[in-house]
């Protein structure tokens, strides 16, 4: 059986990888946020006799385009599509895991969790209103931390990114200035900063650049050893990005009635809830172009959602609650034919 195949953000690399994928591989494209857990699930699924996974980590927007063109079996996005858009495209949508977006930074002597920021300050940094690390507004929140009198070097994603969507959605909720000047989306017109592709691209930039700041999903920050800032939540606390804090954000969100799981969980209520929590979703055609390929993808996701909870926690995500998984299975039954739902899961 095939194994998980990473495809980077370069178009040439993507084409080469697709041509070398085994014929029985499940193919997907999109979110870099969710790539670590897809890799872990694929390794364990293949070890049990399941099909391999060839996945292009090219960003949520490009993944959706790949699914629309019919070149992959599924797309992964960290920004849910609206029900009307799903209907127009003929897609169905369901969540996979919950994680968190963290501001990552490179300051001499600063370790993960040393620096604190409010959502308003983070918005002002990305608006270009706060330009030095030792600005009194930042220093006031961080007594005892030696902040340099250096220019803040801002980095952001240039690809259409679900991570960007969740950050800008959060900033739009906590900063009227951000909401009025920039807003939210997979891509936005950034007032300041340099661009990079993928979580791995901006993570590498921060790791190599002193006095820089960007944003990645927590799994990437942990894997690369980057320092991250704590962000104040609605209760006025600064929760450490952990599975417990992501679980608190998920628990504060209503998954019971949202059509097509159209739920965004940023800025949740709850004393322990992480403020920039995010959900990754899978997209597939509701009327499969190739029934066997959709069945293979559903089998893979069924295995991950039912048996991959431990792996999700190990990588830095939160597995979905059993009630949400049960609702996903009901959703599949309502939209897919019996022929597609017949499981060949190992």
Q: Beta-carbon neighbour count of residue 1 at 10 Å?
A: 15
- Domain boundaries, position 52: 5-98+279-341
Closest CA to 265 of 277, 255, 273, 274: 277
The pLDDT of residue 17 is above 60 = no
CA distance 164 to 180: 17
Average pLDDT over residues 288-311: 91
- CATH number for 75: 3.40.190.10
C-alpha closest to that of 240 among 113, 99, 98 = 113
- pLDDT digit string (tens) for 139-196? 999 998 999 999 999 999 999 999 999 999 999 999 999 999 999 999 999 999 999 9
Judged against a pLDDT cut of 60, whether residue 3 lies above it is answered with no
Give the per-residue pLDDT at 13: 35
Distances (CA, A) of 5 to 35, 106, 197, 340: 10, 30, 19, 25
**142 with 54, same domain?**
no
SS3 104: strand
- What's the pLDDT tens digit per position in 101-130? 999 999 999 999 999 999 999 999 999 999
- Same domain, yes or no: 87 and 120: no
In a domain, residue 273? The reply is: no
Residue scoring higher pLDDT (343 or 332): 332
Q: Give Cβ neighbours of residue 268 (< 8 Å, ≥ 6 apart).
A: 233, 234, 248, 249, 252, 253, 274, 275, 277
Mean pLDDT of 295-311: 93
In this predicted structure, what is the pLDDT of residue 343? 67
Q: Average pLDDT for residues 318-324, to the nearest whole number?
A: 92
Region 216-226 average pLDDT: 91
Q: Name the nearest CA neighbour of 52 among 60, 64, 61, 44.
A: 44
Sign of CA dihedral 108, 113, 118, 119: positive
Q: Are residues 215 and 239 in the same domain?
A: yes
2 CB contacts (<8 Å, ≥6 apart)?
21, 22, 24, 25, 46, 51, 52, 53, 54
Number of structural domains found in the chain: 2
């Amino acid at each position: 059986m095939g194994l998980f195949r990473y495809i980077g953000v370069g178009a040439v690399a993507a084409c080469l990888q697709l041509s070398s994928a085994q014929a029985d591989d499940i193919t997907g494209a999109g979110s870099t946020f969710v790539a670590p857990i897809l890799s872990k699930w694929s390794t364990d699924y293949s070890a049990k006799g399941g099909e391999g996974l060839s996945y292009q980590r090219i960003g949520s927007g490009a993944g959706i385009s790949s699914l629309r063109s019919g070149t992959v079996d599924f797309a992964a996005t960290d920004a849910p599509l609206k029900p009307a858009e799903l209907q127009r495209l003929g897609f169905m949508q369901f969540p996979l895991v919950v994680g968190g977006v963290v501001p990552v930074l490179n300051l001499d002597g600063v370790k993960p969790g040393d620096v604190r920021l409010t959502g308003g300050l983070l918005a002002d940094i990305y608006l270009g209103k706060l330009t030095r690390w030792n600005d009194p507004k930042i220093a006031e929140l961080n007594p005892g931390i030696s902040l340099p009198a250096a220019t803040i070097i801002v980095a952001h994603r240039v690809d259409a990114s679900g991570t960007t969507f969740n950050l800008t959605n959060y900033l739009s909720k906590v900063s009227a200035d951000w909401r009025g000047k920039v807003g939210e989306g997979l891509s936005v017109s950034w007032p300041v900063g340099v661009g990079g592709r993928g979580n791995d691209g901006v993570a590498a930039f921060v790791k190599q650049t002193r006095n820089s700041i960007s944003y990645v999903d927590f799994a990437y920050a942990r894997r690369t050893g980057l320092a991250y800032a704590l962000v104040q939540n609605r209760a006025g606390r600064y929760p450490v990005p952990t599975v417990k804090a992501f679980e608190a954000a998920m628990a504060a969100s209503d998954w019971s009635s949202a059509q097509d799981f159209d739920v965004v969980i940023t800025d949740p209520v709850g004393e322990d809830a992480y403020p920039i929590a995010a959900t990754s979703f899978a997209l597939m055609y509701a009327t499969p172009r190739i029934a066997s390929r959709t069945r293979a993808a559903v089998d893979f996701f069924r295995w991950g959602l039912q048996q991959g909870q431990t792996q999700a926690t190990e990588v830095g995500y939160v597995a979905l609650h059993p009630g949400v998984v049960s609702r996903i299975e009901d959703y599949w039954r309502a939209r897919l034919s019996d022929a597609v739902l017949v499981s060949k899961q190992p």
